[in-house]
Amino acid sequence: MPTNERKYGRGVVPALSMLSQGTCYWPSCNEPITRFVDGIPVNNFEIAHIRAANEGGRRYVKDMTDEERNSFDNLVLLCGVHHKIVDKIRPNDFSIQELQDWKMMRERSGLAALRGLRGLTEDRLQELIAGSFTEVASQIDDAVDRLAAIDAEAADLLRPLVEQLAELKFSRQNPDEDVAGMLLRAGQKLGHLADTAPMLGNAADKAAGLEDAAHLLVDVIRDMKTVLEGFHQVESRLRIYRDMM
C-alpha cells in the first residue's frame, strides 16, 4: 500500500494558520492553534486531510496525486482531539463535503480580505498598517480614561501600551514583531474581561443609589470590549501583512 510522504508546499501551513482565525477548524471549537508555554509560542494543531492522505482512509480518492492531497485546498487544521474523532474514532460520520464546508466557512472572511489587498503597493501597505494602529490606539486611549475612574491600577497598566502605539515606527520591510507580541500579551492580560464583564454589569444594575457610578461601569465595560476587539484586529492584520512580505 503506497504511503503519502506528506510534503506540503512552502506557504501551505502559514496560509492555513493565517486563515484559521486562530482556532481549530471544527465548528465552534475554541482550541487555539498556538499556545504560549513560558512565553514561547508552540504549535497546537494537527494537519488534517479532507480527502484521505493514504489508501484505506475513509475519504480516500484514488485518482488524486500526492501533490493534490497535500495541497492547501485539501487541508484543514484540527486540534488533536477533533483530529482523532474525524479520522480515528468516528471517520464514517464526516464526509468530504462536510469538511469542505468547514474549510469554506472558516476561511471565507480572510480570503475576501486578501482579495481586497491585490495590487497593494508597499507605501499603501504601510499606510494601512499605521492607520490600523492609530484607530485602535485612539479607542484604547478613550477607554483608559474611563477605566481610571473605576480602577486606577488597571489604567496604569494600559497607559504604557497606549503611548507605545502612538509612537509606532515601522521598517520598510515588516511591522515590528515586538509590537505584535506586546499586543498579544496585553490582550491576554485583559482576557478575563470576557468573564468579568457580565458580573460587573450585574453589580452596576444592583448598585442602588449609585446611578452615576452604575452608568460609568457600563460605559467602561463596553469600551473595554471594544479595546479587546481592537487588539485582535490589529494582531490579525499584522499576521496577514507579515505573511505577504
Could you tell me which of 186, 178, 179 has the C-alpha nearest to residue 143? 186
Q: What is the pLDDT of residue 173?
A: 40
- Report d(CA 117, CA 61) in Å as an integer: 35
Its pTM stands at 0.50
List, in order, residues 6 or more apart from 162 with CB less than 8 Å away.
137, 140, 141, 144
Question: For residue 160, what pLDDT is reported?
Answer: 74
Cell 484607530, located at residue: 135
What's the pLDDT score for residue 197?
A: 55
For the chain, list residues with pLDDT below 50.
169-175, 208-209
Please state, in angstroms and rounded to a whole number, the distance separating the CA atoms of residues 202 and 149: 19
Share the mean pLDDT of the chain: 74
Burial (0-12, 13-18, 19+ Cβ within 10 Å), 20: buried
Residue 162 pLDDT:
66
Domain ranges in the chain are 12-115, 122-244
List, as one string, the DSSP characters of the chain.
---------TTHHHHHHHHTTTB-SSTT---BSEEEETTEEEE--EEEESS-SSTTSTT--TT--HHHHTSGGGEEEE-HHHHHIIIIISGGG--HHHHHHHHHHHHHHHHHHHHTTTT--HHHHHHHHHHHHHHHHHHHHHHHHHHHTT-HHHHHHHHHHHHHHHT----SS---HHHHHHHHHHHHHTTTHHHHHHHHHHHHHH-TT-HHHHHHHHHHHHHHHHHHHHHHHHHHHHHHHHHH-
Residue corresponding to grid cell 503597493:
121
> Which pLDDT score, from 0 to 100, does residue 172 have?
37
Q: How many angstroms separate the CA atoms of 238 and 221, rounded?
A: 26
Q: What is the pLDDT of residue 168?
A: 52
Q: Give the HSE-up count for residue 47: Cα atoms under 13 Å, Cβ half-sphere.
A: 18
What pLDDT, on the 0 to 100 scale, is given for residue 169?
A: 46
